Amino acid sequence: MSVHYLDSISRGWDRMISILFKPFNISRWLVMGFAAFLAFLGEGSPSFRYTRSGEKFDAVDIKKFNYENVAPVVKEWIAAHSGIFVLIMMGLILFTALVVIFLWLNSRGKFVFLDNVVKGEGRITEPWNAYAKEGNSLFRWRLVYGIVVLFIAGTYAFFFTLQIITILSQDIAVFPNLLWSVAVSLAMISVLAYIRFFINHFIVVIMYVKRVSATAAWGIFLRILYQRFWAILVFSILMLLLSIGFFIGILLIGLLTCCIGYVLLLIPYVKNVFLLPVEVWFRSISLYFLGELDPAYRILDPVLTTPESPERTA
């Protein structure tokens, strides 16, 4: 069965226009913006790097590095800076708690936003309660997945650092020995990116339609992936290109508004309200595409019914 990629993109655009602009309803827009805020909470946030200027560090001769000296140095530093160490640990505990809370809200919010797009209505309480079981299941799966990824990434980073130190301390050729590490790093990043892509575009939808757990949804999706691998690969590339085009558009808007647009996009919730058309469009595209892969997921009716308009074509 052939897949019409451009048809999914076009129909997704038409549905976004139908939901948000025919007619325009500011109340629905703001509620759906909050649903999108929950669905994308903690995702895609900017990262900042901070370096203290004015603080001097002694140069380290990498060739004299001794692994056995690491533990005593760390223990000595902790003993001399016990107050700072306690503050660091408290900060880490608080940060971990916030990450877990955001992950839970994000997992529950994905079903709220999906339901809003499917129904064409701005609702929070009803879908929040109706899909609590699925949202909590997704949260638990992502929490375990995140812990596993963190462990693997930490272990890999540790041995990668040791390799760097060994190469530099023994005057070994850097490029040949690090080439495989770079390749492994790129492969890991690609796998993580695709897992996130699959969760957002397929797993949540399967859980929403089938009312199954996250683990069961992955089993269903993997069968679809096996059968329609190339179609899903092409779809992922198209979505990447659309995302790049969207990013370029954001850059242009920010420049045209003298960076005021950038400031607005840094404000939580306000960002989602401004970007709601794109968020609804992308969500609709994946719904139409999955419906083409399997008729069981054709959950978007040809006629979209809302309180403001009894009959509207999606």
Q: Is 47 inside any structural domain?
A: no
Domain that holds residue 296: 5-40+61-313
List, for residues 34-75, the tens digit of each pLDDT value: 999 999 887 754 433 444 444 444 444 545 555 555 667 667
pLDDT tens for residues 109-124? 999 999 999 999 899 9
List pLDDT tens digits, range 266-292. 888 888 899 999 999 999 999 999 999
Cβ-based neighbours of 117, under 8 Å, separated by 6 or more:
15, 19, 280, 283, 284, 287
Query: Cα separation of 64 and 61, whole Å?
Result: 6
pLDDT band, very low/low/confident/very high, at 93 (cuts 50, 70, 90): very high
Q: Is residue 20 part of a domain?
A: yes
Residue 50 lies in a domain: no
**Phi/psi at 124 (nearest 5 deg)?**
-120, -55
Q: Is residue 257 part of a domain?
A: yes
55 domain-assigned: no
pTM score > 0.85 for this model? Answer: no
Residue 46 lies in a domain: no
Q: How many distinct structural domains can be found in the chain?
A: 1
Query: Which of 294, 289, 275 is CA-nearest to residue 11?
Result: 289
Q: Which of 36, 93, 21 is nearest to 276 (CA)?
A: 36
Q: What is the pLDDT of residue 257?
A: 77
Domain assignment present for 296: yes
In a domain? residue 51? no
